[in-house]
Amino acid sequence: MFNRAGCVSFNVQRYLRDCRSLIDNALDHYLKKNSRNGSILHQAICYSVLDGGKRFRPILALATGELFGAKRRSLLPFACAIELIHCYSLIHDDLPAMDNDDLRRGKLSCHKRFGEAIALLAGDALLTEAFFIMSDPKAARLLGVPVISKLIREVSDAASIRGMIGGQCTELELDKRKVTPQVLENLDRLKTGALITLAARVGAIIGRASSKDLARVTRYGRALGLAFQITDDILDSHEVLSDKNGSKAIVNYLSVVEPAKARERVNHLLNECLRAMRPYGTAAEPLRDLARYVAQRTSDDAGEPLSGTGNSDRAERLNAVANARQA
Ligand code: GRG
């Protein structure tokens, strides 16, 4: 970690890789110590959480927490709880009553693999498990009850009708004839942005950030969350095209904004993230890098690790999916 001049040089790729592996191990630990190991529900939960996913939100929680000096052992339960809530939302989002997707993270979606009833329950169980982990007395001993209570309230709010679920419902009710970029941005700030802003805020709260710092982190998280969804829409633009040909009905940012304008908007949001982090100098390099990663994604790498370590068995899994779909 030392460069030739004897100064500490920061390797952000290594940092992100370390965070990711820490999170993977912690998720494994939380899910596998469950007393219902081996049940079909437990299999569906592990299938949906443990194999794949970029872990973007928990990495963000760790990176923000560490900016303010929080210890990893205090951050991990909350980082993992946010990932479990994210996984639950993906399972439910894929159900036939919602987006009706056969694939998730490069393999069959949970309901395609385990059936709708189990997928519904796996999502419910993950949401509940998140609160079980956050309310562990060990976490309360580390952080104190008032901080735990504040964190649980933040998490509940972000996942609630005022946050992610509210955004999802607004999307379901969209009148396609009245969609404007502003309508979509407001919706995206809830559906996707709420959990991403939450991850950043949770890290800062655990690091006992001042209210001024928390406001900066919130600005960063809000810009990042919106940039994340617009980039996702850019990467999904083929689905908008297929809609015009009469297949899957999908309304996203690219339905109402030209691709170049959407890219411009993402760059603007990236600059907002970078501006919010300016007061922290090099200490905020992981957070800057996460923002650059979001803004500069050029391929749909859903299911691939954030730090580019690669999934060696991805091609094999895609083959299995193709076979399963033919069967
Ligand atoms: C409760 C019935 C019921 C449904 C809930 C709230 C909800 C459905 C869905 C959440 C909305 C959602 C899936 C938004 C999309 C956000 C998004 C871009 C998800 C993909 O996130 P990544 O790229 O995925 O971080 P990985 O796989 O890397 O974790």
Q: What is the pLDDT of residue 237?
A: 78
Ligand 1 atom having least distance to the Cα of 92: 4
The answer, yes or no, to whether any atom of ligand 1 lies below 6 A from the CB of 165, is: yes
> How far, in Å, from the CA of 82 to the mean position of ligand 1?
12
The answer, yes or no, to whether any atom of ligand 1 lies below 6 A from the CB of 253, is: no
Q: What is the pLDDT of residue 115?
A: 98
Residue 108 DSSP code = E
The answer, yes or no, to whether any atom of ligand 1 lies below 6 A from the CB of 74, is: no
pTM: 0.89
Task: For residue 107, give the 3-state DSSP assignment.
Answer: strand
Token pair for residue 265? 């908007």
Half-sphere exposure of 241 (CA within 13 A, CB side): 7
Of residues 248 and 181, the one with the higher pLDDT is 181
| Mean predicted confidence (pLDDT) in 66-91 | 98
pLDDT tens track for 117-142: 999 999 999 999 999 999 999 999 99
> How far, in Å, from the CA of 274 to the mean position of ligand 1?
25
| Mean predicted confidence (pLDDT) in 47-54 | 93
CA distances, 123 to each of 96, 176, 253 (Å):
14, 28, 27
> How far, in Å, from the CA of 102 to the mean position of ligand 1?
14
Q: Ligand 1, residues 168, 172, 254: which to mutate, most atoms within 8 A of Cβ?
A: 168
Q: What is the pLDDT of residue 236?
A: 84
Q: What percent of the chain is predicted at pLDDT more than 70? A: 83
Local confidence band at 12 (pLDDT 50, 70, 90 cut-offs) = confident
pLDDT tens track for 153-182: 999 999 999 999 999 999 999 988 889 999
> How far, in Å, from the CA of 87 to the mean position of ligand 1?
7
309 has a pLDDT exceeding 60: no
pLDDT tens track for 262-279: 999 999 999 999 999 999
Return d(Cα 127, Cα 61) in angstroms, integer: 18
Ligand 1 atom having least distance to the Cα of 164: 6
- For atom 2 of ligand 1, the residue with the nearest CA is 92
The answer, yes or no, to whether any atom of ligand 1 lies below 6 A from the CB of 23, is: no
> How far, in Å, from the CA of 185 to the mean position of ligand 1?
16
The answer, yes or no, to whether any atom of ligand 1 lies below 6 A from the CB of 103, is: no
Ligand 1 atom having least distance to the Cα of 229: 18
Token pair for residue 91? 């399972």
Return d(Cα 220, Cα 313) in angstroms, integer: 35
Q: What is the pLDDT of residue 326?
A: 45
Q: What is the pLDDT of residue 306?
A: 63
| Mean predicted confidence (pLDDT) in 219-226 | 98
Q: Taking all residues of the chain, what is their mean pLDDT, rounded to a whole number?
A: 88
> How far, in Å, from the CA of 297 to the mean position of ligand 1?
17
The answer, yes or no, to whether any atom of ligand 1 lies below 6 A from the CB of 105, is: yes
Confirm if 83 and 49 have CB atoms less than 8 A apart: yes
281 has a pLDDT exceeding 80: yes
Residue 250 DSSP code = -
| Mean predicted confidence (pLDDT) in 187-213 | 98
Ligand 1 atom having least distance to the Cα of 306: 28
> How far, in Å, from the CA of 86 to the mean position of ligand 1?
6
For 46-55, 99-108, 236-245, which range has the lowest pLDDT when averaged over its residues? 236-245
> How far, in Å, from the CA of 91 to the mean position of ligand 1?
8
| Mean predicted confidence (pLDDT) in 96-114 | 97
> How far, in Å, from the CA of 97 to the mean position of ligand 1?
15
310 has a pLDDT exceeding 50: no
User: CA angle, 199 as apex, 70 and 187 as ends, to 5°?
Assistant: 160
The answer, yes or no, to whether any atom of ligand 1 lies below 6 A from the CB of 92, is: yes
245 has a pLDDT exceeding 90: no
User: Across the strands, what pairs with 321?
Assistant: none
